Amino acid sequence: MYAVIDLGGKQYRVEKGDELVVDRLDQQEGDTLTLAPLLIGGEKRAVTAGELKGAKVKAKVGEHFLGEKVLVFKYKPKRGYRRRRGHRSRLSRITIEAITAGSAKAVASAGGKKKAASAKAKAKETGKEKKAAATGKAKAEPAKASSGKGEAKEAKAASSKKKTGKAAAEGGSAKPGKEKKAKEAEK
């Protein structure tokens, strides 16, 4: 059985007996930690968030120590700029003692709950479809915009062009070529 735990802003996959090196903890050497797992897996399937009530991971703080020295060297060529800094991270070593999955009922019934929820959702969808068929109201598809070039030109000509001069008085358009196109579009 394994678990995924969150410790110090990082996630670790752990099993019973594993030793981890993590950022320095506030606990003293020899203290026991109880952590809440994010995920437990390894038996039949992975158990996640809602099903983890009562699940725990117990760990023991082994020692506190300093990590290896890390050197940071800054350098800019042709300027005489050189800076050397270093640091040693403060770390803790922990040992995983036990992983408990919580109540057996919660783990066992978790699979059944998901199946029941999906079955209810399917039943709702089929029920809605049956009602729609009985009342004769099927889902209406959205009307598609016509792609006819003639309709678009006609609408544009009618709304944006102003009639001027003699052609306006006669009821035609100002440009002679436009009259033929407008008559063709009407037909």
Do 95 and 153 reside in the same domain of the chain?
no
Q: CA angle, 71 as apex, 66 and 74 as ends, to 5°?
A: 150
Domain count, the chain: 2
pLDDT of residue 50: 75
Q: Would 64 be classed as within a structural domain?
A: yes
In this structure, are residues 32 and 58 in contact, taking their beta carbons and an 8 Å threshold?
A: yes
**Alpha-carbon distances, residue 152 vs 137, 146, 157, 177, 182 (angstroms):** 32, 9, 9, 18, 12
Exposed, middle or buried by CB within 10 Å (0-12, 13-18, 19+), for 184? Answer: exposed
Residue 138 has pLDDT above 60, yes or no: no
pLDDT of residue 9: 92
pTM here?
0.51
Q: Would 127 be classed as within a structural domain?
A: no
Q: Would 96 be classed as within a structural domain?
A: yes
pLDDT of residue 106: 44
pLDDT of residue 170: 55
Do 91 and 30 reside in the same domain of the chain?
yes
Measure the CA–CA gap between 55 and 8, rounded to whole angstroms: 19
Q: How confident is the model at residue 41 (pLDDT cuts 50, 70, 90)?
A: confident
pLDDT of residue 48: 72
Which domain does 173 fall in, by range? 149-186
Q: Would 59 be classed as within a structural domain?
A: yes
Q: Would 22 be classed as within a structural domain?
A: yes
The DSSP result for 27-77, as a single string, is SPTT-EEEE-EEEEESSSS-B-GGG-TT-EEEEEEEEEEEEEEEEEEEEET
Do 9 and 99 reside in the same domain of the chain?
yes
Domain end call among 105, 131, 163: 105
Do 89 and 158 reside in the same domain of the chain?
no
Tokens encoding 121? 């959702």
Q: Would 61 be classed as within a structural domain?
A: yes
Q: Would 139 be classed as within a structural domain?
A: no
pLDDT tens-digit profile of 155-183? Answer: 666 655 555 555 555 555 556 666 677 67
Q: Would 10 be classed as within a structural domain?
A: yes
In this structure, are residues 131 and 94 in contact, taking their beta carbons and an 8 Å threshold?
A: no
Q: CA angle, 11 as apex, 31 and 35 as ends, to 5°?
A: 35
